[in-house]
Amino acid sequence: MNRLYVQSWPLRWAIHHVVLLVFLVAGYLGLTVTAQAASKLVSFDTPEQEVLYESLLQEYRCLKCQNQNLADSDADLAGDLRNEIRDQIKAGRSGSEINDYLVARYGDYVLYKPQLKPSTYILWFGPFLLLFIAGWYALRVARGHRALIATDAIVAEKDSVTKARSLLDD
As a whole number of angstroms, the distance between CA 138 and CA 99 comes to 42
DSSP at 41: T
Residue 143 lies in a domain: yes
Give the phi and the psi of residue 64 in degrees, each rounded to 5. -90, -45
Confidence of residue 15 (pLDDT cuts 50, 70, 90): confident
Name the domain count of the chain: 1
Contact 44, 57 (CB under 8 A): no
Asked if the model's pLDDT at residue 37 lies above 60, the reply is no
- Contact in structure between 53 and 86 (CB atoms under 8 Å): yes
What is the pLDDT, as a whole number, of residue 33?
Answer: 52
169: amino acid identity, one letter:
D
Dump pLDDT digits (tens) for 97-148.
999 999 999 888 888 787 888 888 888 899 999 999 999 999 888 777 776 6
Q: Given a cut of 60, is residue 3 above it in pLDDT?
A: no
User: How much is the pLDDT for 1?
Assistant: 47
Give the pLDDT confidence score for residue 88 in this predicted structure.
Answer: 92
Rounded Cα distance, 55 and 1, in Å? 62
Give the model's pLDDT for residue 32. Answer: 56
Domain membership of residue 129 (yes or no) is yes
Q: Average pLDDT for residues 72-95, to the nearest whole number? A: 90
Calpha distance 2→13 (Å, rounded): 18
Which one is predicted more confidently, 52 or 15? 52
**Model confidence at 154: pLDDT above 90:** no
More confident residue, 25 or 59: 59
pLDDT digits (tens, 9 = 90+) for 60-69: 888 888 788 8
Domain that holds residue 153: 116-170
Give CA separation, 114 vs 37, 67, 100, 110, 158, in Å.
28, 14, 12, 8, 61
On whether residue 53 sits in a domain, the answer given is no
